[in-house]
Structure 1
Amino acid sequence: MKKRLVFCGLFVFALHAAARQPGCENVGAHLNELASADQQIRQESEVLEQDPNATTTQRDALQQRWQIIDSENLKQFKQIIAACGWPKTSKDSHSAWLLAQHADSDLVFQRLARGLLDASVKAGIAAPRDLAYLADRIAANEHRPQEYGTQFSRTDRCHLGLDQVDDRALVNHRRLAIGLQSLEEYEAEARRHLIPPDCPPGERKIK
């Protein structure tokens, strides 16, 4: 299975709903809980991928738990956005971005989240790099070239590929403009952290 990695009226309604919906004062804590679950299962997956002795049964069981967590996270995250809008602090926005980044099963909602995140960036709340990652994620999901080169796909534990970019020179220019490291440095970091050390040397590279 190919696994993607890292490292309108409705729009206006969602953006302003927080001021008049009950329960939104604790939205940050709720988002943090969902984001923590999101990261925990992915960390477990990376540990398992690095283990050459891990069995297919172990990987399948983790994948099932991963799907359940992502599905429940998406359900709750959509409810939060509908009731409270996009978070109003940079910390909470970052948690929301993480959940939107992994909402691959609902591309329509992922696009809505991008619009909300874009408005938050323009308001000086959200980080431009978060928007870059989400924009690239949507482009990869739509089989379009990335603008920032943030997304990789792994077909197995030893093969990592950078999803298509439009132009490497332009990608590096855009990355520099928002404070990201060069694409070459990013690829080297991905190679160090995402490709297990027991893979054959010739395989330990970005395709």
Structure 2
Amino acid sequence: MTVAACGDGPPSHPGSRAELLQMLKVDQEVRTLKASEEDWDRVDRANTDRMRQILDAHGWPGHTMVGEDGAHAAWALIQHADRDLHLQRRGLELMRQAVEKGEADPSDLAYLVDRVRVAEKKPQVYGTQWETDPQGNWRPRTPIENAAKVDERRADVGLKPLKEYVEELKSLE
């Protein structure tokens, strides 16, 4: 995976950046403030619909277009579009191309790769998707492909070793 430098100037679409950041703010509020299921569904549907429109109009909203924070927001919104696997797959392909051009973060891509693979009931590549079992112990949502090499793959995309990631998850409890 090659990463080319992208412009350090202001985003070419500051309005789109602001919109993505606002969408992410609302997304995070419904997830962290224990909003009602109705509110969560409404926000997820609206964000998913809007992300579909953004991808249709612009492709992946990368660093040059919306800044690093805007591109990260786009990733998070696609990541959370769990009700629309087709959109997540489409975002994954567009994001892969953006990473190759230096327009998106490889570590964000790793999370989306795993999110899509979990939805497809396939093994994860990077071990980013975890859940707790009924006893409250953390476990991968699906097995990790070639687990002996996972830390090498994680390092390649700028992620910390799996053991450190799991410890971080445990500390959030």
Q: Shorter chain as normaliser: what TM range?
A: 0.7 to 0.9
Flag the structure with larger Rg: 1
Cα distance in 1 for partners of 2:33, 2:60 equals 29
Matched position secondary structure for 1:34 = helix
Q: 1:29 to 1:186 in 2, by over 3 A?
A: same
Q: Which residue of 2 aligns with 1:33?
A: 22
Given that 2:21 and 2:69 are in contact with CA atoms closer than 8 Å, whether structure 1 keeps it comes out as no
SS of the aligned residue for 1:161 comes to strand
Give the superposition deviation at 1:179: 1.9
For 1:120, the equivalent position in structure 2 comes to 98
The equivalent of 2:107 in structure 1 is 129
> Cα deviation per residue 1:101-144 (whole Å; 9 max; x = unaligned)?
01111111111100110111000111100110000000001110
Query: Identical aligned pairs, as a percentage?
Result: 36
* 1:80 Cα deviation after fit: 1.6
Q: Pairwise mapping of residues 1-207 of structure 1 onto structure 2 (< 5 A)?
A: 26-45=15-34, 62-89=36-63, 90-154=68-132, 158-163=136-141, 164-193=143-172, 195=173
RCO higher in 1 or 2 (8 Å CA, sep ≥ 6)? 1
* Superposition misfits of 4+ residues, deviation over 3 angstroms: 154-160
Unaligned runs of 5+ in 1: 1-23, 46-60, 196-207
Deviations 1:51-100 (A, max 9, x none): xxxxxxxxxx6233212211111111111221222213233211110111
Q: What's the CA shift string for 1:142-175, capped at 9, x where partnerless?
A: 1100010000134669354322211222111101
Amino acid in structure 2 at the alignment position of 1:127? D
Q: Give CA-to-partner distance per residue, 1:34-57, whole Å, 9 cap, x none.
A: 111111122223xxxxxxxxxxxx
Task: State the Cα RMSD in Å.
Answer: 1.9
Quick check: 92-101 or 154-163, which moved more?
154-163
CA displacement 1:157-196 (0-9 Å, x = unmatched): 9354322211222111101122211111111110110x3x
Give the TM-score normalised by structure 2: 0.82
1:43 & 1:135 partners in 2: Cα distance? Answer: 24
- Name the CA shift for 1:171/1:65 in 2 (closer, same or farther; >3 Å): same
The answer for unaligned runs of 5 or more in structure 2 is 1-12
After TM superposition, the score normalised by the length of structure 1 is 0.70
* Kept after mapping to 1: 8 A contact 2:92/2:112: yes
